[in-house]
Amino acid sequence: MDGNGRWAERRHRPRSFGHRAGAAAVRRSVEFCVRHGIEALTLFAFSSENWQRPKSEVSALQRLLLRSLEREVEDLHGNGVRLRFIGGLEAFPDELVARMHKAEVRTFDNKALALNVALNYGGRWDLTQACRRLCERVRAGELEPAAISEADLARELALADLPEPDLFIRTGGEYRISNFLLWQLAYSELHFTDVLWPDFGPLALEQAVREFAGRERRFGKTGAQVRGA
């Protein structure tokens, strides 16, 4: 969800103004996914590299997240959305972590949409955590190193209980995945747009989905095999 700061700067407003506008774009995207029966939506809200930003901006983002949890959780719950947070959450203030946990418990049984919010997350962190868990299983005698498979590693990753993403969307005119879901995106379709995140609405999201629907996904096969020719 890139472009909040630039969106605000173009309006001669503080970056926090852009982050608040970005929160409205999150709401629109969630509503779109619920309305169209999309199974899962994962939002890269705060990367492990974002701690390098000015402290004032990081603090403003944390306050915004806390306020959003206070305002939005009941609406999410009422619309059947399950909310989950992934990443190194222990780095955040205790009050915020407690709110996240409360929101996860409140929405746990919901089925309409799995909404995952990545905070202090990085794809390399995810893979490292998975490797550590596999090492613990080896040390406990539960697993032989030579027997470790791709499936074993995948089961230890964040969001292991969900299908791998079909579509990756990057807003803001940047053409990289920025350490997001490195393993899970191996066969995802990529969509890059110049639209800044606060301006990203249902039309832009529908355009991305329509473009995705028109692509031929071969997964190593030939086009003729996929088409059954």
How many angstroms separate the CA atoms of 21 and 26, rounded?
9
Annotated catalytic residue within 4, 50, 94, 161 = 50
- 3-class secondary structure for the chain? CCCHHHHHHCCCCCHHHHHHHHHHHHHHHHHHHHHCCCCEEEEEEEECCHHHCCHHHHHHHHHHHHHHHHHHHHHHHHCCEEEEEECCHHHCCHHHHHHHHHHHHHHCCCCCEEEEEEEEECHHHHHHHHHHHHHHHHHCCCCCHHHCCHHHHHHCCCCCCCCCCCEEEECCCCCCCCCCCCCCCCCCEEEECCCCHHHCCHHHHHHHHHHHHCCCCCCCCCHHHHHCC
120 assigned to active site:
no
Cα(21)–Cα(197) distance, integer angstroms: 9
Q: Which two tokens stand for residue 178?
A: 């920025």
User: 35 — phi, psi (to 5°)?
Assistant: -65, -30
Please say whether the beta carbons of 142 and 152 come within 8 A: no
Q: Per the residue annotation, which of 2, 4, 116, 120 is the catalytic one?
A: 2
Confirm whether 50 is a catalytic residue. yes
Q: Which residues are catalytic?
A: 2, 50
